[in-house]
Structure 1
Amino acid sequence: MSGGLDGLRALVTGGASGIGRATARLLREHGAEVAVLDLSPSDLPAGVHGFTADVGDREGVTGAVTAAATALGGLDILVNNAGIGAAGTVEDNDDDEWRRVLDVNVLGIVRTTRAALPHLRASAHASVVNTCSIAATAGLPQRALYSASKGAVLALTLAMAADHVHEGVRVNCVNPGTVDTPWVARLLDAADDPAAEHAALSARQPIGRLVTADEVAAAIVHLAGPQSSAVTGTALPVDGGMASLRLRPRAR
C-alpha cells in the first residue's frame, strides 16, 4: 500500500502518543499529508503538523480543526483517536468522573467530527475512523465506565455511517484489544504485582500477548484509505482473537 494515500489529507486526534502517534506515522509513510490534534503535540513523526487542542473544548477543537484543514489544504481522513481510560466498577467512579470520561471519549468525537464534516464533504475520498475498543462488545472486569463510553462510540459510529453515507463520507471504527500503550503501562505500574497483571492481560488474548499500537494503526489506515471505499459502518476487531475465539485450555 506504499504511496496509496498520495494526495490525501488526514487529521488524527490524540496523535502524539500510543495508537494515535503510530497512526500518524503510518499515514505519512503511505503518502498522506498529516496533522494531529493533541494536548501536547510534541515529538511528532517527521513531516507531521501539530496543533494543540483539548477535545473537551468545543471552541478550541473547532479552531484547531479549521487551522489543520487550512494547513493541509483540505481534509479527506479524520481519525478520532483521542480518549482517556477509567478503571473500576459502577461503585468506584463518581458522577464527575463519569461526565469527564464520557465528555472526552464520546463528545470529543462529536465535536471533532462536527468541525471536520464541512471539509470532508468536499473530498472525493472522505473517511472517518473512530478508535473504539473490545470493551464495547465484551464484558471486562473493572472497566464499567470505560466500557460504557466505548459502547457509545460503537453505536455512534454506526449512526454516523448511516447519516453520512449519501454524502460520500464513510465511517468505521476499530476495536482494539489490550494494547501496549502508555495508559496500559501506567495501569500495570499501579498493580500490586505488575508482572502477574501483564501476564493476565496477555493471556486473555488468544495470541498470547498484548496488541501493538502499530497493529492497530495498520487497521485504521486500511479502513481510512480509498482501497476500503466499499466499507462503511464496520467495526474491525484488532484484539488477537479475543472477541471471537473460544479456545480449549492447553494441555499441561
Structure 2
Amino acid sequence: MTKGLSDRVVMVTGGASGLGLAIARDLMREGATVAIVDIDGACAEREAQALRAAGGRSLGVGADVSKCGELSDAKKQIEDALGPIEGLVNNAGVAVLGAVHDTDDGLWRRVMDVNLDGVFYACRAILPSMQARGRGAIVNIASIAGLVGVPNMAAYCASKGAIIALSRQMAIDYARSGIRVNAIAPGTIGSTRMGAALLGSDLTPEAQARRLAKYPLGRYAEAGEISKAAVFLLSDDASFITGTVLTVDGGMTAY
C-alpha cells in the first residue's frame, strides 16, 4: 500500500468514467476518501455509491469544470461532507480533431475552457485549503500531445502543452507551502471513450497500424496503468517529486 493516502480526501474531476473512474477506484483501494466530480452528476453519485458499497468513503458531485462558480460550489460541498481536500486530480477533458485552419472559434474555446481553464479553476478553488494545512498534492492529466505534435489536433495539443507548463510553474510557487504539483502525459488509452473516439477517426487497417507502430511496446495503454501512476504521485511515496511530467506512453516519446 502506498504511504499517506489513508483517509486523505482526494477530488477527481471527470471521475465518473474512463481514466478518472479508474483513478477513483485505485485511490479507494489505497484507503483514500474520494470525491468524484463530473459534469454528469447522477453518474458521479452512482459511481461514488459503488465505491461506498465496496467499503470506501466517497461522494459524487455534479459540476462543469469550465465554470469556476460550479467548481467552487463543488469544493464547498465536498469539504462540508468529507473534510479538507488534500489531493486533486485534474482529469476532465475533451479531445477534438482539427488543424489550425479548420478549427473555428467555438471549437477552440470549448477545448481551452474544459482542458485548460478547468485545471486553473479547480486548482484555484482547492489551493487555499491546502495552503492553510501546509500540505497537498495535485496531479494534472496532460498528454503526450502536449510534448509532441499530433496531426490534426491543434487545440488539444495546445491545451495539453499549456497544462504541462502550468504544472511546472505551480510546483515552484507552492513548494514552500508543502504542496506538490505534477503532470502525467499518457499515451493513447484504447479502452476509454476518448481513446476510442480518437482511434476511430480513421478506421482503415493502414491508419490503425500506423498509430500502433508508434508504440514500441506494441499496444495501447490500459486505464489502470495510468491511474496507478496518478496514485503514486499523490502519495507520500512521491514526497520528493514535484514539477515533473511523468510520461506513461509505452515508449512512444522515446523515438
* 2:223 alignment counterpart: 213
* 1:145-166 deviation per Cα after TM superposition (whole angstroms, max 9, x unaligned): 1101101000000111111111
1:28-43 matches, cutoff 5 A: 28-41=28-41, 42=43, 43=46
Q: Percent of pairs identical after alignment?
A: 42
* Distance in 1 (alpha carbons) for counterparts of 2:71 and 2:212: 36
* 1:68-107 deviation per Cα after TM superposition (whole angstroms, max 9, x unaligned): 1222211110001111101121112101211111111111
User: Residue 189 and residue 135 in structure 1: after superposition, are their counterparts in 2 closer, same or farther (change >3 A)?
Assistant: closer
* 1:96 alignment counterpart: 106
Contact persistence 1:82–1:105 (CA under 8 A): yes
**Equivalent position to 1:187, from 195, 198, 202:** 198
* TM-score of the aligned structures, taking structure 1 as reference length: 0.92
Confirm or deny that 1:118 pairs with 2:131.
no
* 1:3-29 deviation per Cα after TM superposition (whole angstroms, max 9, x unaligned): 752121100000011110000000000
* 1:156-206 deviation per Cα after TM superposition (whole angstroms, max 9, x unaligned): 00111111111111000100011121112123344343x544433222111
Contact persistence 2:65–2:92 (CA under 8 A): yes
* 2:61 alignment counterpart: 51
* 1:228 alignment counterpart: 238
Deviation at residue 210 of structure 1 after TM alignment: 0.7
* Distance in 2 (alpha carbons) for counterparts of 1:89 and 1:206: 27
Confirm or deny that 1:10 pairs with 2:21.
no
* Distance in 2 (alpha carbons) for counterparts of 1:116 and 1:140: 32
* SS of 2:253 mapped into structure 1: coil
* SS of 1:100 mapped into structure 2: helix
* TM-score of the aligned structures, taking structure 2 as reference length: 0.91
| Matched residue type, 1:191 | D
Contact persistence 2:3–2:235 (CA under 8 A): no
Contact persistence 1:2–1:29 (CA under 8 A): no
* SS of 1:191 mapped into structure 2: coil
Number of residue pairs the alignment of both structures matches: 244
Q: What are the ranges of 5 or more consecutive residues in structure 2 without an aligned counterpart?
A: 53-57
Moved more, 227-236 or 112-121: 112-121
* SS of 1:37 mapped into structure 2: strand
Contact persistence 2:16–2:36 (CA under 8 A): yes
* Distance in 2 (alpha carbons) for counterparts of 1:153 and 1:232: 14
In proportion to residue count, which structure has more helix?
2
Moved more, 122-131 or 220-229: 122-131
| Matched residue type, 1:9 | V
* Distance in 2 (alpha carbons) for counterparts of 1:109 and 1:133: 14
* 2:55 alignment counterpart: none
**Runs (4+) off by over 4 Å:** none
Contact persistence 1:125–1:226 (CA under 8 A): no
* SS of 1:221 mapped into structure 2: helix
User: Residue 187 and residue 136 in structure 1: after superposition, are their counterparts in 2 closer, same or farther (change >3 A)?
Assistant: closer
* Distance in 1 (alpha carbons) for counterparts of 2:59 and 2:206: 39
Confirm or deny that 1:24 pairs with 2:35.
no
